[in-house]
Amino acid sequence: MVQSLLNAGLLFASGVLAANGVGGVKNGLARTPQMGWDNWNAFGCDVSEELLISTANRMVDYGLRDAGYQYVVLDDCWSAGRSENGTLVANSTRFPNGMAHVADSIHNLGMKFGMYATAGSLTCGRYEGSLGYEEVDAQTFAGWGVDYLKYDNCYNEGQEGTPLITYNRYKRMSDALNATGRPILYSMCNWGTDYPWKWAQTVANSWRMSGDITDNFNRVDPRCPCSGDEGYDCALPGFHCSAMNILNKMAPYPDKGQPGAWNDLDMLEVGNGGMTDTEYVTHFTMWAAVKSAMIMGNDIRAMDAKTLSILANPAVLAISQDKTGSSAVRRWRYYLPNNDNSSNATAAQGSGTIAEIQMWSGSLEGGDAFVGLLNLGDEAIMINASLADIFVDAGGSHSEEAQSSWDVYDLWANRMPDSAANIIIEANSTSAANLTGVYWNNTEKSYADGVAEEAPVLLGKHVGTVEAGGSISSMVESHGVYAVRLRMRAGPSKRKRDEL
């Protein structure tokens, strides 16, 4: 059997699990998907103390820390090799005060510090790798005050090909990190090789499940050769994978994430310029809905208003940080003829192109549900989703859920106005703008507690109801998503909940 019923809330004996700290790697971290920032998508190897600390400060100023983005992660190219005693040494030009100083500075801002290493002989940037140096490197990281390790997969000396080979390689660092005694979030980055969603839950807090993301919504690139529902069985993860490529690749195993151990669809591209605002909204919403790690990848210091108002959207972040840890599931996809020329793959099919729509839904704490209606075509389209399909796991049209009526809350209708975002950016402070109803301070009160208290800013904007047996409908623009929270209004589901 698998975890379906467990995720659906039927697991009552959680006291046992909590006591063990099991249900994921045993460090107790990432009970909800980790949130933070990593420099790679925007800066690549152009790293420095200044970049990290200035970015961390802006994250505080812009309210992103308090929105939950806790980790500041330094990616590849920070190294100057190994010292004579074998320990990794930071590049002293770029990190003139050493890594411990960077960690301290970030800690002093109330944030956490992440770093990067590789389970190979070299990092992807061809610096010293950690394969065979797991213990010493883990000790170095812990000594510097590191709270998070992104652990990559380049130059792995052929150590892959069965789950067991890859598991053993990644477990070595897991054990080494645990042995330091410092809680260090362990973020595996082996691109889905050897199916980490099958086995990583007991050794890591998250695992990348695809090749690297690129800042594009759905462009086909031969360098990301696996796609769609067969993409889980991929001998070449590649890179230049579009956001939709990665999302669809993950559709077969939404159940594999769980508190403490998450699917990582790769760092966000929001704000990097390669997608439209609509596309970024879809990208961000779906990463939240499927409980991906949420690591920003843009230049925080040069952020525009629309980027900020996506990244800080409290109604969507409440989905990401929902207590159940239950991923949305793709309930259906339909193909329709259209004229989208944006995808080479489509064009490659010869005459006649195809548009695609999808419906995703998932369980939220307290009996709520997430619903997302996606339009992957190039023209706006009316999309309908029946309660029977939204609640198909509960039994479809005969389920108590489908026979109840629901309030519908739009997750984007209360998006922070550009004016407010611009005030924040210009003032370097959230307090300068009126953020009532558009922002949540997770540092003061967690998303989970806010949802439990029915904070309106977390539920979204009430836009209507859907009757028992009815459907949700919305025009959805090209590459857009209509994303809502459903809350029980009346009927058997409501009664069941009231009895709790």
Burial (CB count within 10 angstroms: exposed 0-12, middle 13-18, buried 19+), residue 424: buried
Binding mask 359-378 for its own copies (x = CB under 8 A): --------------------
Smallest Cα–Cα separation from 109: which of 58, 35, 36? 58
The C-alpha torsion from 317 through 319 and 323 to 325, rounded to 10°, is: -110
The long-range contacts involving 198-201, CB below 8 angstroms and separated by at least 24 positions, are 198/163, 198/256, 199/163, 199/167, 200/167, 200/170, 200/261, 201/23, 201/24, 201/25, 201/256, 201/258, 201/260, 201/261
Should residue 469 be labelled a site residue for its own copies when binding is judged by CB under 8 A?
Answer: no
Which one of the spans 150-158, 179-187, 309-317, 423-431 is the region binding its own copies (CB under 8 A)?
150-158
Smallest distance from the beta carbon of 216 to its own copies, in angstroms? 8
The whole-angstrom separation of Cα 166 and Cα 190 is 9
Q: Which residues within the stretch 62-91 sit at the binding site for its own copies (CB under 8 A)?
A: 75-77, 79-81, 91
The whole-angstrom separation of Cα 111 and Cα 69 is 8
Q: Which residues within the stretch 434-463 sit at the binding site for its own copies (CB under 8 A)?
A: none
Catalytic residue (choose from 38, 66, 137, 152)? 152
The whole-angstrom separation of Cα 240 and Cα 224 is 6
Asked if residues 118 and 92 have their Cβ atoms less than 8 Å apart, the reply is no
Judged by CB under 8 A, the number of residues near its own copies is 99
Q: Residue from 29, 64, 88, 124 that binds its own copies (CB under 8 A)?
A: 124
61 catalytic residue (yes or no): no
Q: Residue from 28, 46, 86, 437 that binds its own copies (CB under 8 A)?
A: 46
Which one of the spans 40-48, 58-66, 449-457, 487-495 is the region binding its own copies (CB under 8 A)?
40-48
Residue whose CB is less far from its own copies, 80 or 136: 80
Sign of the C-alpha dihedral, residues 163, 165, 168, 173?
Answer: negative
Q: Which residues within the stretch 268-287 sit at the binding site for its own copies (CB under 8 A)?
A: 273-274
Residue whose CB is less far from its own copies, 40 or 412: 40
Q: For 363, what's the count of Cα atoms within 13 Å in the CB-facing half-sphere?
A: 21
By residue count, the chain amounts to 500
Q: Residue from 86, 110, 236, 382 that binds its own copies (CB under 8 A)?
A: 236
Should residue 302 be labelled a site residue for its own copies when binding is judged by CB under 8 A?
Answer: no
Q: Residue from 85, 158, 498, 499 that binds its own copies (CB under 8 A)?
A: 158
Q: Residue from 392, 425, 448, 486 that binds its own copies (CB under 8 A)?
A: 392
Should residue 5 be labelled a site residue for its own copies when binding is judged by CB under 8 A?
Answer: yes
The whole-angstrom separation of Cα 472 and Cα 465 is 9
Residue whose CB is less far from its own copies, 367 or 460: 367
Longest CA–CA span in the chain (Å) reads 71
Should residue 37 be labelled a site residue for its own copies when binding is judged by CB under 8 A?
Answer: no
Should residue 500 be labelled a site residue for its own copies when binding is judged by CB under 8 A?
Answer: no
Which one of the spans 58-66, 164-172, 425-433, 462-470 is the region binding its own copies (CB under 8 A)?
164-172
Q: Which residues within the stretch 166-205 sit at the binding site for its own copies (CB under 8 A)?
A: 166-168, 171, 189, 194-195, 198-199, 201-202
Catalytic residue (choose from 61, 66, 137, 212)? 212
Residue whose CB is less far from its own copies, 83 or 168: 168
Smallest distance from the beta carbon of 93 to its own copies, in angstroms? 9
Binding mask 242-271 for its own copies (x = CB under 8 A): ---------xxxxx----------------
Should residue 464 be labelled a site residue for its own copies when binding is judged by CB under 8 A?
Answer: no
Should residue 22 be labelled a site residue for its own copies when binding is judged by CB under 8 A?
Answer: yes
Should residue 471 be labelled a site residue for its own copies when binding is judged by CB under 8 A?
Answer: no
In the chain the first and final C-alpha atoms are separated, in Å, by: 28
Q: Residue from 110, 223, 339, 454 that binds its own copies (CB under 8 A)?
A: 223
Should residue 101 be labelled a site residue for its own copies when binding is judged by CB under 8 A?
Answer: no
Tell me how crowded residue 293 is: count the other CB atoms within 10 A of its CB. Answer: 28
Residue whose CB is less far from its own copies, 169 or 487: 169
Smallest Cα–Cα separation from 209: which of 184, 226, 185? 226
Residue whose CB is less far from its own copies, 182 or 253: 253
Q: Residue from 180, 393, 456, 465 that binds its own copies (CB under 8 A)?
A: 393
Asked if residues 242 and 219 have their Cβ atoms less than 8 Å apart, the reply is yes
DSSP 223: T
152 catalytic residue (yes or no): yes
3-state helix, strand, coil in the chain (%, to 5): 35, 20, 45
CA-angle at 69, arms to 242 and 359, nearest 5° = 40
Sign of the C-alpha dihedral, residues 38, 42, 45, 51?
Answer: negative
| Measured CA distances, 440 to 153, 390, 482 (Å) | 36, 28, 21
Q: Residue from 28, 83, 96, 164 that binds its own copies (CB under 8 A)?
A: 164
Active site residues: 152, 212
